[in-house]
Amino acid sequence: MYLETPPRLIETRLFSAMPDKFRRKGERTDWADANRPGVPTDSFIEGPSFDKDANLYIVDIPFGRIFRIAPDGEWSLAIEYEGWPNGLKIAADGRILVADYRHGIMEFDARAGRIAPVLTSRNSESFRGCNDLHLASNGDIYFTDQGQTGLHDPSGRVYRLTQSGRLDCLIDTGISPNGLVLDPTETVLFVAMTRDNAVWRLPFMKDGSVSKVGRFCSLFGTSGPDGMTMDAKGRLFVGHASLGHVFVFAPNGELIARVKSCAGPNCTNVAIGGAKKDRLYITESATGSVLVADIGGLNS
């Protein structure tokens, strides 16, 4: 995973944990029964994304909740609804888009406290279970339709919903497609394939289709890569859902750093924040914690 220099170790600290008043202790949900059988689950947070006022929005999948965490770490419930919000991204214009495992792609109006569907099906067929999304600079929405796919059923899909409303299926052979992100030139899409324990690289052709899809990196563990983000220098930050780390890869695929969880092993999603974009925020889902790491040193 590296050539000459071992990856730098970056420690984390707790930014904020879900207050007890929001934890649903002792409650069972269909989502937890299917995805965390036998494990007490009072929350399962993912999808961190910052608004223009530096509030951090996150989702709580099993209980259909979206939270707002203020810069000082204080939590407030933004909405609770009948859904399983999985991924969340805030656009430059302030739109809040949600990949909902039950309903498809949704839009959350934080001012009004309402959530409404954007896209619920393809050719009258429901999605298998939307997981995460990424917003291109032109407004196109890239999202994954993961469902329960894996090595036994490599049929996960990656879609692009264009500004004009056209829905393109970019790949339909995904092994549990999860987090995704475009490179800085927006000519390559990276997709975490959780149950392949790898990140796939999808280069775009001139007509917008993908070709020569390959594995950018391979990992290990009982789960796999989950949420991802990329900085302006093209370094890929990959949250791993069972190894308690976020792995940082250079544009050539070399592992240059590992960001170690100070909480549990379920580092599911990541977001870059801070005034200088020098902090990495991580959802540690099982403990309901948001961690933070200083990543400014990667530039030295």
242, part of any domain: yes
2, part of any domain: no
263, part of any domain: yes
User: Mean pLDDT in the chain?
Assistant: 97
> What range defines the domain where residue 91 resides?
8-295
3-state DSSP call for residue 296? helix
- Is pLDDT above 90 for 291? yes
How high is the pLDDT of residue 299?
82
Tell me: is residue 226 an annotated ligand-binding position: yes
The reply to whether 109 belongs to the active site is: no
- pLDDT tens per residue across span 137-159: 999 999 999 999 999 999 999 99
**What are the distances in angstroms from CA 292 to CA 273, 285, 286?**
9, 14, 16
1, part of any domain: no
Residues 6+ away with beta carbon under 8 Å from 131: 86, 87, 99, 101, 143, 144, 145, 146, 177, 178, 179
174-197: average pLDDT: 98
Tell me: is residue 93 an annotated ligand-binding position: no
75-87: average pLDDT: 98
How high is the pLDDT of residue 22?
98
Q: How confident is the model at residue 245 (pLDDT cuts 50, 70, 90)?
A: very high
Q: What's the CATH code of the domain at 113?
A: 2.120.10.30
For the chain, the domain total comes to 1
**What are the distances in angstroms from CA 146 to CA 167, 188, 191, 201, 264?**
17, 20, 11, 17, 24
Catalytic residue among 145, 226, 278, 294: 226
Tell me: is residue 178 an annotated ligand-binding position: yes
Q: Give the pair of three-digit tokens for residue 68.
A: 């707002």
Tell me: is residue 123 an annotated ligand-binding position: no
